[in-house]
Structure 1
Amino acid sequence: MVEQRLAGPIIRVSIMTMILGGLLYPLAATGISQLLMPERANGSLIYENGHPVGSALIGQNVQDPALFHGRVSAIEYDAAASGSNNYAPSNPELIKRVEGTLQEWKKENPSVPLNQVPMDLMTDSGSGLDPHISPEAALAQVDRIAEATSISKSRLKELIVDHTEGKEWGFLGERRVNVLLLNLALKKE
């Protein structure tokens, strides 16, 4: 049992730690973030006509054939449940899901041979919320969108090029396209 003379210092240190770690540090971090990068600190929200339509950091479940579709999500795009099943390539559940995704892809995009479907459209991201696809994945959807919208394929390809982001700091990651930003630009056409 703790000696009586140690109880006071232990309680004071505990209270001080709670105040520093539970109150002052979060307030300081939030304040600095709001000053240095307010857009990111507020969730990188994207607005259309003054109303938030999503975040540049979280993918959305797009079903409209006239819009670009993002990656498959193992968590149904629920940001509260971020994560992935992390199945091995030989796992029957993964094989079943990928086969189903391929069949759905073929119905929606009959002009693209199955062996040319970009892998990122068939697989989950680590978080299940990835808002980006590869430029190749966006290009693979051009025929379907051109047919659904009557926008020329060349204009759709221009939109993809205009919305392709480079590697982070010039060398990290891959080139990518934010699906939400691309779809908002597409809706303005």
Structure 2
Amino acid sequence: MKQLRLIVTMLLLMTLITGVIYPLVVTGAAQLLFPAKANGSLIEHDGHAVGSSLIGQSFTDPKYFWGRPSATAPMANNGNASTGSNLGPTNSALTDAVKQRIDALHAADPGNSAIIPSDLVTASGSGLDPEITPAAAQYQLARVARLRGLSEDQVRGLVAAASSGRQLGVLGEARVNVLQLNLALDDLQKR
């Protein structure tokens, strides 16, 4: 009986420590030290959340910059299904999907004969990438400027504002957040 009481006491104590106290301490520290990140890195626009800076959104209207394709299912950019497609370069499903994406880009901007950056036709490892390379933004710049009636310099300035360099100057690559860029385009058009 003494052993059983000790076991039950330890179970309740460890449940209290690891199931209640520790999560409350970690959550409190995150809210105190990193409130924006702890709450999902939300992007607010006109007083309400429109997305996260960490999860991509699908834009298909040619007047917007398009992000990386999503590999999540059953819907694109589904945070609950974050995964790569696991399709290899010789898989016909992957080559067909890439061909469809290339055709869509050519249909949206038939006069653009530049080489399409790979991040516009291939999904990232998570399938949720919210950013594109500066080359992918440059590829789309003329189309977006033309369809919105803006100068390329105006749009280039917005691309620069939505761009981030390497982390700590050496980690990763330069990138452009597509949602922030498209929101800035909409704001510019409202003025």
Say yes or no: TM over 0.5: yes
Partner of 1:81: 81
Partner of 2:35: 38
Alignment of 1:1-189 (within 5 A): 5-75=2-72, 76-113=76-113, 116-189=115-188
**Aligned AA (2:97):** R
Alignment RMSD (CA, Å) = 1.4
Deviates more, 1:121-130 or 1:154-163: 154-163
Q: CA deviation at 1:88?
A: 1.3
Unaligned runs of 5+ in 2: none
Q: CA deviation at 1:139?
A: 0.9
Equivalent residues of 1:120, 1:137 under 8 A apart: yes
SS in 1 for 2:49: strand
Q: CA deviation at 1:126?
A: 1.2
Paired with 1:6 and 1:101, the residues of 2 have a C-alpha distance of 65
**Aligned AA (2:42):** L
Paired with 2:107 and 2:65, the residues of 1 have a C-alpha distance of 15
Render the CA deviation track for 1:41-77: whole Å, top value 9, x for unaligned: 1111111111111111110011221111100001111
SS in 1 for 2:93: helix
Paired with 1:83 and 1:142, the residues of 2 have a C-alpha distance of 29
Sequence identity, in percent? 41
Alignment coverage as a number of residue pairs: 185
- TM-score, with structure 1 as normaliser: 0.92
Q: CA deviation at 1:113?
A: 2.6
**Aligned AA (2:113):** P
